[in-house]
Amino acid sequence: MLEDKNTSKTELSDLGEFALIDYLTKTIKPKNNSTLLGIGDDSAMVKHGENPSLISTDLLIEGIHFDLSYMPLKHLGYKAIIVNLSDIYAMNAYPEQILVSIAVSNRFSLEALDEIYKGIQLACKNYNVDLIGGDTSTSVTGLIISVSVLGTGPKNKIVKRKGAKENDLLVVSGDLGGAFVGLQVLEREKAVFKVNPNSQPDLSKYSYCVERQLKPEARKDIIDLLHELKIVPTSMIDISDGLSSEVLHLSKASEVGFHLFEEKIPIDPVVSLTCEEFKLNPLTAALNGGEDYELLFTIHQNSYDKIKNHPYLTIIGHATDIKNGCKIISGLGQQIELTAQGWESFSKK
């Protein structure tokens, strides 16, 4: 399908670990002032001045978090960085450095690793982040990517999951469900391909959803916008596991309930149409789909005028007394309790 058909192959065993690291990192030069020491020592060194350092980490495993039969390696490298950057933006802060560890089995060539690094370096360029360290190793089977990200921001502007107050407005950026629906399209095409390897899939009408899945972006622009509008959210989280799960996280940390309004939840028309084709409820895709990497946050009601009608932001509900729980209210006034689906990676399938 979309797999890299690069024919030139250099075996990693011909290089050895140190030469491989030199090769992959030779073009990497730190750009941020806060990066004091990059790749090549026992540890890297950063200094965020008077501001605290934020740090987050994610582990991505082939066969669990991604499927190389439809995920091009360059996109995978890009996405591995994006999902980490998103965690720093979700604190209303800016990522500045990343460390990337990669383990590959001997079925991967140097050219394959090169593709992954191209994606990593493109994400670094687009988001102004320095690659400052990591680890390179073999794996028994498959590909493993572990990314750690460092960021910073003024302490009084950093936003946690805790902090939402009753009557605060609940706001989401962009639209939801696209990444999940994109995954359904790709899984279907993979199944078709298995039956007929000569089939030429036409994914053009699904391109929005497929791109949301294969090449997501982190919402740096929303953090820029919040700074411009002089809004500091009272709580914030990024949507990696699905709206439902993230609302429950904010609820638990902030000790408030939430009321969401079904008709306010932003879903792209392409996502709705594709859901229809797949006999899926678009609301389910938005609530439980995950991997949208949009930002979900609460703001005080007096910020309403600043964001109303903003094309990138939608007010989808408000915080209530914790006793009311977290509910979604349908157009007909029905109240449905939100349940934590999340990424139940340990569930028996």
Interface with a copy of itself in residues 209-238 (CB under 8 A):
236-238
Contact between 348 and a copy of itself per CB under 8 A: yes
Choose the stretch contacting a copy of itself; rule: CB under 8 A; options: 34-42, 182-190, 218-226, 261-269: 34-42
User: Which of 63, 194, 278, 335 touches a copy of itself by CB under 8 A?
Assistant: 63
Q: Which is nearer to a copy of itself, 7 or 13 (CB)?
A: 13
Q: Which is nearer to a copy of itself, 274 or 288 (CB)?
A: 288
**Amino acid letter, 317:** G
Lookup: tokens for 239: 């949507």
Choose the stretch contacting a copy of itself; rule: CB under 8 A; options: 146-154, 185-193, 226-234, 315-323: 146-154
Is the distance from CB of 150 to CB of 96 less than 8 angstroms? yes
Strands 35-37 and 313-320, sheet pairing: unpaired
Contact between 79 and a copy of itself per CB under 8 A: no
Cα-atom radius of gyration of the chain, to the nearest Å? Answer: 21
Taking the complex as a whole, the smallest distance from the CB of residue 249 to a copy of itself amounts, in Å, to 8
Q: Which is nearer to a copy of itself, 54 or 179 (CB)?
A: 54
Find residue 297's DSSP bridge partners: 171, 236
User: Which of 3, 4, 9, 135 touches a copy of itself by CB under 8 A?
Assistant: 135
Taking the complex as a whole, the smallest distance from the CB of residue 130 to a copy of itself amounts, in Å, to 12
User: Which of 33, 128, 137, 199 touches a copy of itself by CB under 8 A?
Assistant: 137
Contact between 121 and a copy of itself per CB under 8 A: no
Q: How many residues bind a copy of itself (CB under 8 A)?
A: 75
Contact between 289 and a copy of itself per CB under 8 A: no
Which of helix, strand or coil describes residue 211?
helix
CA distance 256 to 168: 10
Contact between 346 and a copy of itself per CB under 8 A: yes
Contact between 142 and a copy of itself per CB under 8 A: yes
CA distance 229 to 151: 22
Find residue 138's DSSP bridge partners: 104
Residue 152 half-sphere exposure, CB side, CA atoms within 13 Å? Answer: 16
Choose the stretch contacting a copy of itself; rule: CB under 8 A; options: 114-122, 148-156, 273-281, 323-331: 148-156
Residue 214 half-sphere exposure, CB side, CA atoms within 13 Å? Answer: 23
String marking each residue 246-265 x if it binds a copy of itself according to CB under 8 A: -------x------------
172: number of Cβ within 10 Å = 27
Q: Which residues of 122-131 are buried (b: 16+ CB within 10 A; e: fewer)?
A: bbbeebebbb
- The H or E element that residue 295 is part of is strand 295-299
CA distance 223 to 238: 12
Taking the complex as a whole, the smallest distance from the CB of residue 274 to a copy of itself amounts, in Å, to 27
Q: Which is nearer to a copy of itself, 133 or 174 (CB)?
A: 133
Q: Which residues of 80-110 are buried (b: 16+ CB within 10 A; e: fewer)?
A: bbbbbbbbbbbbbbbbbbbbbbbbbeeebbb
Taking the complex as a whole, the smallest distance from the CB of residue 252 to a copy of itself amounts, in Å, to 9
User: Which of 101, 126, 272, 284 touches a copy of itself by CB under 8 A?
Assistant: 101
User: Which of 1, 2, 20, 229 touches a copy of itself by CB under 8 A?
Assistant: 20
